[in-house]
Amino acid sequence: MGDNYSAIYAFILYSVLLGFCFGILYDFFRMIRMVFCLPGIIRAEERSQRPKNRLTINIIVFICDILFFVISACITAVFVFHANNGNIRGIALFGSLAGFVVYYNTLGRLVTLISKTLIRAVFYFFRFLSRRVVLPALRGLFKALCYIFKLMVYVDSYLYTRRIQKRLTACAKNGFLKL
């Protein structure tokens, strides 16, 4: 880069923008965690107890964090090598960290609040739908299948009884010699 200050300022600006992009990527992974973990937490909050699947939640958080850091490290390495001809400068790391912190403390909180509200609304909608529409339909289908099964058993036992009666009647005519 040399002493070209406009290039240095552009490099710093791009590293801050990269930090903002990392914040967006982190929010994406945070939403994935919310989708998988929030229903269990909501159910536990309704019962005033700790979530039962705490180990599963911790594993999902761990995997999402590892993926985030691996992707961020790869993108940072590509950015530094492309923008600075392979010379690693601390200002790139500091700029991306500063951009991430600014995003996380400003837009990140807003995005988290909105996404948590939307995920809860979708969860409650599907829970309402399953309790009021799907479960009654499945219960009705189960009752209909039970009725059909009972009817088939009744018809089968009736036909079996008729066959046995005919056979016994035929054997009675022969004096029960051939049974």
Tokens coding 34: 């919310």
**48 pLDDT above the threshold of 60:** no
Q: What is the pLDDT of residues 113-127, one digit of tens each?
A: 898 888 888 888 888
* Closest to 95 (Cα-Cα) out of 4, 5, 7, 9: 9
* Closest to 96 (Cα-Cα) out of 81, 75, 112: 75
Q: What is the pLDDT of residues 73-116, one digit of tens each?
A: 999 989 988 888 777 778 888 999 999 999 999 999 999 889 88
Helix (H, G, I), strand (E, B) or coil at 15: helix
- pLDDT, position 15: 92
DSSP conformational letter for 176: S
Note the pTM of the prediction, 2 decimals: 0.66
What is the rounded distance in angstroms from the CA atom of residue 152 to the CA atom of residue 155?
Answer: 5
- pLDDT, position 134: 82
pLDDT averaged over every residue in the chain: 84
In whole angstroms, how large is the CA radius of gyration of the chain? Answer: 34
Name the H helices within 47-134: 54-83, 90-105, 107-129
DSSP string, 27-47: HHHHHHHHHHHHHHHHHHHHT
Sketch the domain layout of the chain as residue ranges: 5-105
CA atoms within 13 Å, Cβ hemisphere of 56: 11
Task: Give the rounded percent of residues in the chain with a pLDDT score beyond 90.
Answer: 26
